[in-house]
Structure 1
Amino acid sequence: MSNGIHHVTAISGPARRNLGFYAGILGLRLVKKTVNFDDPGTYHFYYGDEAGHPGTLLTFFPWETASKGQVGTGETFETAFRVPAAAIGYWAQRFVEKGVAHETPARRFGEPVLSFRDPDGMRLALVGVAGAESEPGREAADIPAEMAIRGFHSVTLLIEDAQPTGGILADVFGFAETASEGTTVRYQVAGEGQGGIVDLRVAPGFPRGNLGAASVHHVAFRAADDAAQAAMVERLVANHGLRTTRQKDRAYFRSVYFHEPNGVLFEIATDVPGFAVDEPLAGLGQSLKLPAFLEPRRATLERVLPDLG
């Protein structure tokens, strides 16, 4: 699948706590340990599957003293992962044992959903997906492969009006409206797969959000390569009157950014070159990787970056 969510980037509190939760409790692989290119005294962690495939990547800017964000319209309300349907009970028990704040399992759009929070209060969920047991699972820590997370299920955006955002999802990113439930409209790419769903929760008059720890900074959508990205940019301008930033080289993909009509920050990220461009697959995430323009500052950055223990 070449459409769908590429990655989700969020803000967190202390780096060591973030790493302990996402790698230790959720069992995601730290596939890249680098820095925020625009604020290099801050880490940028990428968590995903074994190879860091698009559709599995949750990334964080961990600021040690970040104040808590306030969710509101123009933001991502919830980020959800796929698990086999039979794994929901396992995860509910694991969250009890690990002291993870969570809700009673419920059903949405016919699927079992276990909502929970990370240590900063970020809204997350596990969704039991029929057939996900046939997808590769990564054995990690004390989590058996058959229970493991299989990448993203969906993001839920909290917005004023579904129509303009849905128009961009359909026209530019290849989604189609497939269902609605209450105030939520579901958009989905063809076929089942990782990161293939965006839910639009309509909340007119709800206050705007404030970014901080627990906030999603942006949602990135997939473009196979530079040409596919350029075609999406052209459609945004021609059909929606929206312009993006210039392309930025993020080392593992190339990106453009824009705010969609409800205010959510969207990114279009290329699938190429991927995370094995500067370290072998077996060693992903083990050492601090810096872009060439920051290498001269490595010694200084290694002194100021938080100790991960």
Structure 2
Amino acid sequence: MATKPIVGLHHVTAIASDPQRNLDFYTQVLGLRFVKKTVNFDDPGTYHFYFGDDAGKPGTILTFFPWPNANRGTLGAGEVSHTAFSVPVSAIEYWEQRLEANDVRIEAKHERFGKVVLEFSDPDGMKIELVGNAEAAAVESAFANPRFADVPDEVAVRGFYGVTLLERNLAPTESALKLMGYSKVAEEGRRVRFEVAGDALAHRIDVVVDPAAPRGRMGAGTVHHVAFRSEDYADQKEWLKVISESLGVSPVMDRDYFRSIYYREPGGVLFELATDIPGFAVDEPLESLGEALRVPAWLQPHYDQIDKALTPITLHKAVKAEAKEEVQA
């Protein structure tokens, strides 16, 4: 077993359609920070967006491949069905009102494992949850809350709570999670919860078992992959050896802001193990994260061509005093 345990989620990557609509929803409605505007390394003519807390801390990052005119995906077995964020328990009423004020329909409000959960969809149909979590109060609000969001610090999103996997069978997926250090901690109906000892706000994986669930189809509104945290490069290499003994795994890939290995758990969900280092401030100041297009060094000679080909977007920067400014992004 690797010497350093996985402590939870690093990021979740999903597919969107309209880039501006995606940007507006996650910054203006959910109040996340636009941490990085770069390109899809495998398709440099399209964006790769990163949203998170003010510093882009692992465990807070939701990323998107926004492909204009992408067809809507279909949720099914072997996919992430819901992505959940933590908010303070006292913030649930605020978020009910904020979502309704922004014409976001709350699809369900219920209690799960003793915590209140709000369920809704983003503009592409991706299922999002806000979970009232007492542990969220322990996160320093000034760090968690993006400087350009109009969401008050005391009710701001505090990073991930966890994700839900939809699977036909539990045992193969449970085996993969156990390999990664996750343990079964609770069951509620067809839902089984797994946790690791680590980051209090991003260390949960729920598995919902439905033997009759059809296979899904990747597209806008679906999650492409889930990434877990590896502290550094040496740690990641150890995990590469451990995982390769049971599952097929990719070589290490340099993603500029982290290094990654990819492997698919037996139920079909694509997993990634991403390093905490070097982080999102490696190529631009913390104060201006996400405001300029960044491309990897190997694409730098084509920067102007790439920039002109991308769909123009505008980053709206809210100010807590209710004044607003716009930055052409």
> What TM-score do you get using the length of structure 2 for normalisation?
0.90
Tell me the residue number matched to 2:319. Answer: none
Q: How far, CA to CA, are the matches of 2:9 and 2:138 in structure 1?
A: 21
Task: Tell me the SS of whatever aligns to 2:244.
Answer: helix
TM-aligned CA deviation for residue 233 of structure 1:
1.9
**Aligned match for 2:195, one of 168, 184, 188:** 188
Q: Is the 8 A contact 1:222 1:270 kept in 2?
A: yes
1:272 aligns with 2:277: yes
Tell me the residue number matched to 1:231. Answer: 238
TM-aligned CA deviation for residue 189 of structure 1:
1.4
> Which letter does structure 2 place at the counterpart of 1:111?
K
1:111 aligns with 2:115: yes
Tell me the residue number matched to 1:295. Answer: 300
Tell me the percent identity: 51
> Which letter does structure 2 place at the counterpart of 1:269?
A
1:167 aligns with 2:175: yes
**Aligned match for 1:249, one of 248, 254, 257:** 254
Q: How far, CA to CA, are the matches of 1:160 and 1:203 in structure 2?
A: 5
Tell me the residue number matched to 1:210. Answer: 217
> Which letter does structure 1 place at the counterpart of 2:286?
L
The aligned runs of 1:129-140 (5 Å cut-off) are 129-137=133-141, 138=145, 140=148
Task: List alignment gaps of at least 5 residues for structure 2.
Answer: 315-329
RMSD: 1.3
Q: Is the 8 A contact 1:101 1:118 kept in 2?
A: no
Q: Is the 8 A contact 1:233 1:243 kept in 2?
A: no
The aligned runs of 1:1-309 (5 Å cut-off) are 3-137=7-141, 138=145, 140-172=148-180, 174-190=181-197, 193-238=200-245, 240=246, 242-309=247-314
Q: Is the 8 A contact 1:159 1:203 kept in 2?
A: yes
Q: How far, CA to CA, are the matches of 1:43 and 1:135 in structure 2?
A: 30
Runs of 4+ displaced beyond 2 Å? 139-142
Deviates more, 1:152-161 or 1:227-236: 227-236
> What TM-score do you get using the length of structure 1 for normalisation?
0.96
Task: List alignment gaps of at least 5 residues for structure 1.
Answer: none
Q: How far, CA to CA, are the matches of 1:237 and 1:246 in structure 2?
A: 10
Q: How far, CA to CA, are the matches of 2:187 and 2:53 in structure 1?
A: 30
TM-aligned CA deviation for residue 2 of structure 1:
5.3
Task: Tell me the SS of whatever aligns to 2:293.
Answer: coil
Post-superposition Cα deviations, 1:211-265, rounded to whole Å, max 9, x if no partner, equal 0000000000111112211222222222x2x121111100000011111100110
